[in-house]
Amino acid sequence: MIKKEKIIMDLDVGVDDAMSLIMGMLDPKFDIKLITTIFGNVGLKQATKNTCWLVQNYGDKDYPIYMGAERGLNTPLHSATEVHGKTGLGKTIVAKNVTKKVSNKPNYGAIEAMRDCINKYPNEITIVSVGPTTNVAKLLTTYPEVVSKIKRIVLMVGSLDGKGSVTPYSSFNAHCDPDAVNIIISHKVPIIISTKEMGTTAYFEDDLRNELKQYGRYGELIYHLCNGYKDSILEVGQYAVHDTCALYSILDTDFFTREKVDMTINVSNDEKRGQTKFVPNPNSHITVLKTVDKKKVLAYIANLIKKNAKK
Ligand SMILES: [Ca+2]
């Protein structure tokens, strides 16, 4: 019997978010209890539409989707349409004929749904946040009673080398809301940080992209998502798997090396806003991924898609 990790996926869909959602839905090692959306790669409305489209057309069940924050706590709105295409799913795919609706009710959105999910499964839920981290910060500050019941939080944020992608110092998700990251890391919940280096090391290229295309509709989806997708620090034809690395960080595998660290993020309004720093501390509640085994991650992805070729 496979031990399933119960997760909440918090997404700003986005090409690599879409890939990570597919991996989360297909992999029997994950049990997605809730999907929440956030502004980021595209605006909140488009990110939510993309998420609904993916679940409607590629979901193995009708996952609940709740819409979250439309901007950061204290930061002007940013997006990354130059990386993910105008509507977030690359140049070929456009989310249309979306009938799946979000589950928001008055005064009940993403953070309330997160709260109730954590209360339903105390100490079992991992929040996998792969966009700006505003929803998670709001959850912790608005409903502090759930903090001790969260198994762990994964953030796809920051860089090991202190260099950025959007600015010389800040990676995208950190740049969108550094204050939110700062709030989260001050809470003594087990936290895993997957930095930009993981996704830009474990990129794939056209040989794998073409191979995946032969493995049924999920492979075809990934193939098409890659059209027009280019991380700002990679070359054309290199496809970063940032958000999938973050998701895989909770699997019991040797895909990554890890280190316990103290983490800081620059929240001042100078040019280094959003820059992260990591200092080893074996007693810390924060673990950072240090290296990634690109071959193993890509083989795992390819195998999962291949296994589901007939679905
Ligand atoms: Ca993302």
Residue-range domains of the chain with CATH: 5-307 (3.90.245.10)
Q: Are 54 and 90 in contact (CB under 8 A)?
A: no
pLDDT 10s digits, 282-310: 999 999 999 999 999 999 999 999 999 99
Q: Are 189 and 286 in contact (CB under 8 A)?
A: no
Report the pLDDT averaged over residues 46-59.
97
Ligand 1 center–CA 209 separation, angstroms: 20
Give the integer Cα–Cα distance in Å for 261 and 116: 30
List % helix, strand, coil for the chain (3-state, nearest 5).
Answer: 35, 20, 45
Q: Are 305 and 218 in contact (CB under 8 A)?
A: yes
Q: Residue 30: its pLDDT value, please?
A: 98
Q: Are 173 and 72 in contact (CB under 8 A)?
A: no
Classified as helix, coil or strand, 100 is coil
Q: Mutual orientation of helices 216-225 and 294-307 as an angle, nearest 10°? A: 130
Read off the pTM. 0.97
Report the pLDDT averaged over residues 135-156.
98
The DSSP bridge pattern shows strands 152-156 and 256-265 to be unpaired
Q: Out of 57-66, 71-80, 169-178, 190-199, which region has the weakest mean confidence (pLDDT)?
A: 71-80
E-only strand ranges, 98-170: 125-129, 152-156
SS (H, E, C) 240-272: CCHHHHHHHCCCCCCCEEEEEEEEEECCCCCCC
Q: Residue 83: its pLDDT value, please?
A: 85
Q: Residue 74: its pLDDT value, please?
A: 87
Q: With 80 as the cut, is the pLDDT of residue 243 above it?
A: yes
Ligand 1 center–CA 11 separation, angstroms: 6
DSSP state of 239: B
Ligand 1 center–CA 129 separation, angstroms: 8
Ligand 1 center–CA 43 separation, angstroms: 12
Q: Are 106 and 112 in contact (CB under 8 A)?
A: no
Beta bridge partners of 70: none
Ligand 1 center–CA 1 separation, angstroms: 31
The DSSP bridge pattern shows strands 5-11 and 125-129 to be parallel
Beta bridge partners of 194: 156
Q: Residue 140: its pLDDT value, please?
A: 98
Ligand 1 center–CA 80 separation, angstroms: 10
Give the integer Cα–Cα distance in Å for 20 and 63: 15
Ligand 1 center–CA 131 separation, angstroms: 4
Ligand 1 center–CA 48 separation, angstroms: 12
